[in-house]
Amino acid sequence: MDNYSFRSLKTLVSIGSILSAYGIDSGLRHYRDQLFGPCPLHGGDNPTAFRVHLQRGLWRCFTHCGGGDSVELIRRIENCSHAQAARHLNRLASKNTSPCTNEVISNTSEPNSSFKPFTRAIPLNPEVPFLQLTKGIRVATARRFEAGVARSSPFLANTVAVRLHDMHGGPLGYCGRQLDSHMIKRFGKWRFPKNLPKGTVLYNAHRAHPFLKSGIIVVECPWAAIRLAQAGLPNAVALLGTLPSQMQIDWLSKARALLLLLDGDAAGHKAAATVHQALASVITMHIHRLPDQMEPEDLSDQSLVSLVAQYPLFS
């Protein structure tokens, strides 16, 4: 890395290549020499808030994140120093690959090149008894997180769907929570897109990213993260399972502190122990054990707020 200056690295790796390598250009539209769309850094929804000048190598978020050159873009994506950003640029320049291709993932073999993100939005009906009555998710909240029943999708039939994004906010498609008990016994509760590299996904990471410098709450499934956001706690991410991947661990390691709020069962306890073992020596960590068979979304909004309030960094 010492053989490279920032100027030469920026010449070797265009800002468009960086966006593509991190998989956060899929939600942006192309007009002349510019890209524009919702900000992929903080997960905004303003369709014109984020602009990229491809020829000038500059970007700007007009609502939240500021702007800068490609070095500053990588610093924001990776939450890293200038020196670390240079190393990331050097790696992209020398390998011309996505930054995640060399990660070791424990709950999926490797990022699958045959997986094709589904970027189109599917109309969902958020008025679902499972969401409102079972999970306590209000209609407005379900609509905000793009959760509900898809009437026109065979893949999501007999499920309650929720939209997935990569860690930087790029749309990946949808997963569906099975409602049929026989299907659950045969295939499990969740249906995921074919070849989805689950270990590269941390649900809600793009929305929770601004809170890395304070504290991140870790849960298992999207419903818990959505319920915490509904209660006014937007700093929660979900593992989408109980076997954390190395990429998920790496993202969590950037937080100032973690509150592990996993399900109150053997799998939840094991997942908490895995994260604790990996990160307890480097960041502040708290484990809150729920009663047997209880999930975070079983609690009321006020109870969730009171629970998290016990740990000052997170509320």
Angstrom distance (rounded) from CA 161 to CA 174: 6
pLDDT tens, position by position, 223-265: 999 999 999 999 999 999 888 888 899 999 999 999 999 999 9
pLDDT in tens, 153-162: 888 989 999 9
Lowest mean pLDDT: which of 12-26, 220-234, 270-284? 12-26
Pairwise CA distance, residues 307 & 287, whole Å = 12
| pLDDT band at residue 164 using 50, 70 and 90 as cut-offs | very high
pLDDT interval class at 315 (50, 70, 90): low
DSSP letters spanning 96-162: -S-TTTT---SSSSS--TT-----SPPP-B---HIIIIIS---HHHHHHTTEEB-TT-STTTTEEEE
Q: The domain at 205-314 falls in which architecture? A: 3-Layer(aba) Sandwich (3.40)
End-to-end CA distance of the chain: 40
Which class is 6-95 in CATH?
alpha beta
Higher pLDDT, residue 305 or 75: 305
pLDDT of residue 71: 87
Lowest mean pLDDT among 33-42, 158-167, 257-266: 33-42
Across the chain, mean pLDDT equals: 85
Q: pLDDT: is 228 or 194 the higher one?
A: 228
Quote the CA–CA distance of 58 and 73 in Å, as a whole number. 9
Q: What is the largest CA-CA distance in the chain?
A: 60
So what's the pLDDT on residue 106?
A: 36
Beta strand ranges found along the chain (DSSP E):
29-31, 34-37, 50-53, 58-61, 66-68, 147-148, 159-165, 171-178, 190-191, 216-219, 236-238, 257-260, 284-287
Domain range list for the chain? 6-95, 129-198, 205-314
Residue 202 and residue 138: Cα distance in Å, rounded? 23
Highest mean pLDDT among 187-191, 192-196, 236-240: 236-240
Residue 275 has pLDDT above 50, yes or no: yes
Residue 9: in which H helix or E strand, if any? helix 6-12
User: What distance lies between CA 125 and its chain's CA centroid?
Assistant: 23
Q: Which two tokens stand for residue 272?
A: 């908490």
